Structure 1
Amino acid sequence: MWSGPRNLSTALMYSFAARGDCGIWDEPFYAAYLKATGLDHPMRAEILAAHETDASVIADRCRGEAPLGEPIFYQKHMTLHMIPSFDRSFMRDCENVFLIRHPARVVASYAKKREGPGLADIGFVQQAELFDEVAQWLGRPPLVVDSADVRQDPKGTLTALCAALGLPFTDAMLRWPAGGHKADGVWAPHWYGAVHLSSGFEDPEGPLPDLAPHYAELARQALPHYERLAAFRIRT
């Protein structure tokens, strides 16, 4: 599952984990990304200390079995983590799905956790590039799911997504225990506060947020990439 930050990605990971037949991996390349780029993110030192930083080792694990041998292996990936120097060949051994969210909502949410994001931080450009790469080798557009559709109709959207993946839908995907998951990355205390309070998908979102001018410009730059992928989103 390829998304940018603040995209409902953690809630969707919890949803799949709640199936009972699905192992999960939370942002496998985050530490490798921080090490390779030298970027200063919240909890950088803790992330580098706690997680694998060798991208080739991570890619090999992504090709392998789920952590406890579960039949389904759900990997929550951030598009910005897949920098050009990392080998992407493992993606050909996976079913790649793209999770999108309107950039105005992403920017408003991200800015509450880390000030001054730029276009590279919110992942839209990278997501579109990865989408095109997967589409090229598949010969068709890969699957796209919009977080707004998940919140509008969780059961219908997840039923359609599971069907497209050849999986049975189960109502267990609609609820999960509050308080987080044992597979959360070490960065969870900074980023996952709201979803840790949840036990299911939140209600549909209201109007788009009002943004300060510099954030509105950032959302404007990201919007064409979102709209291009949104044209292919799963519909119920």
Structure 2
Amino acid sequence: MSSDQARIMIWSTPRSLSTAFTRSMSARGDTKIFWEPYLNCYSYGRDRTLHWADDIPGVINDKYTFNYVNDMMGKFQSDSKVLFAKCMIEGITGNFDVVAPGYKHTFLIRHPLKMYRSFEKLSEDLVPIDYKTTFKNIYQELEKFYDHVINELGQSAPPIIDADDLLAQPKTVLSKYCELIGIPFTPKMLKWDCVENFSVLDWECTDVGAITRPEHTEGLTMSKALQSTGFGDGSKKKTNYSSEDYSDDVKECAEHALPVYERLYDLRIKI
């Protein structure tokens, strides 16, 4: 590994602005992106344990094993100063040891009411997953891996970004994030071009799965992140969660997740 090549992963729950964050990293111009490599193994690879997409033509690819993605992510990229992997925590649930060595781990969190409401809409429109069961303990898994990074991998307390903070003050949050992970901040991270689909982004690991297929990019799944050109002007305020209209299922899931979210929130990058 080259001493001047930063290797970074960011972990999150689903529906937590992680694609927008990845677009920000990609906009730097010096960064190689690995798109959800472990989630691809979990959902679409030879040893997948999630089978919701088994009957969807063209989305399964047996080459996606943990060895395959770790070999890809471990190679030196001569044209990139930063290697950046955006990962969903469910891709390594109960299997933390599969994660590639040599990467600095960071985290992105979102209030569980927003996360579960977004996933409820996704499950109704596209992905037939019972989020109430599959993702009941997803925040708990995120916290477990946070502790694993410190206690087993020996890294210092990983930086945590809260999605609301990112939308409210993107420049401040991104500047502090870059400082903590040891790469220079650039204003390029605040703006990027609108695109129609993933094929023009030149990201690794986007050749598998239903979510990145062109026929789905106009739906709820990825359209906002693909068509966006930045995080906004910083005028967005945090939601008054008590006033929102959420379903009983979303409220139940969020109540279960809230204590973990609040613990992680207390450790976040402060603005």
Q: What is the number of residues matched between the two proteins? A: 233
Selected match of 1:117 from 131, 144, 148: 131
Q: Note the C-alpha offset of 1:44.
A: 5.2
Change (3 A) 1:97 1:85: closer
Selected match of 2:40 from 18, 31, 34: 31
Q: CA RMSD in A?
A: 2.3
Structure with max Cα Rg: 2
Q: Note the C-alpha offset of 1:162.
A: 0.4
Percentage of pairs with the same residue: 27
- Cα distance in structure 2, aligned partners of 1:219 and 1:55: 31
**Counterpart position of 1:126:** 141
* 2:12 matches 1:3: yes
Per mean C-alpha deviation after superposition, the further-off stretch among 147-156 and 56-65 is 56-65
Selected match of 1:69 from 61, 79, 84: 79
Q: Note the C-alpha offset of 1:89.
A: 4.8
**Residue 53 of structure 2 contacts residue 59 of structure 2 at CA under 8 Å; is this kept in 1?**
no
- Cα distance in structure 2, aligned partners of 1:125 and 1:119: 13
TM-score if structure 1 supplies the norm length? 0.89
Per mean C-alpha deviation after superposition, the further-off stretch among 207-216 and 98-107 is 207-216
* 2:257 matches 1:222: yes
- Cα distance in structure 2, aligned partners of 1:199 and 1:165: 24
Change (3 A) 1:10 1:146: same
TM-score if structure 2 supplies the norm length? 0.78
Q: Note the C-alpha offset of 1:64.
A: 2.6
Moved segments of 4+, more than 6 Å: none
SS at match of 1:48: coil
Selected match of 1:144 from 157, 160, 165: 160
SS at match of 1:96: strand
SS at match of 2:108: strand
Selected match of 1:57 from 58, 68, 90: 68
- Cα distance in structure 1, aligned partners of 2:15 and 2:54: 15
Change (3 A) 1:44 1:23: farther
Selected match of 1:84 from 58, 70, 94: 94
SS at match of 1:229: helix
Per mean C-alpha deviation after superposition, the further-off stretch among 133-142 and 160-169 is 133-142
**Residue 33 of structure 1 contacts residue 83 of structure 1 at CA under 8 Å; is this kept in 2?**
no
- Please list every run of 5 or more consecutive structure 2 residues that lacks an aligned counterpart in the other structure: 1-9, 125-129
Q: Note the C-alpha offset of 1:6.
A: 0.7
- Cα distance in structure 2, aligned partners of 1:19 and 1:151: 18
- Please list every run of 5 or more consecutive structure 1 residues that lacks an aligned counterpart in the other structure: none
What amino acid does structure 2 have at the position aligned with 1:15?
S
What amino acid does structure 2 have at the position aligned with 1:61?
M
What amino acid does structure 1 have at the position aligned with 2:177?
L
What amino acid does structure 2 have at the position aligned with 1:130?
F
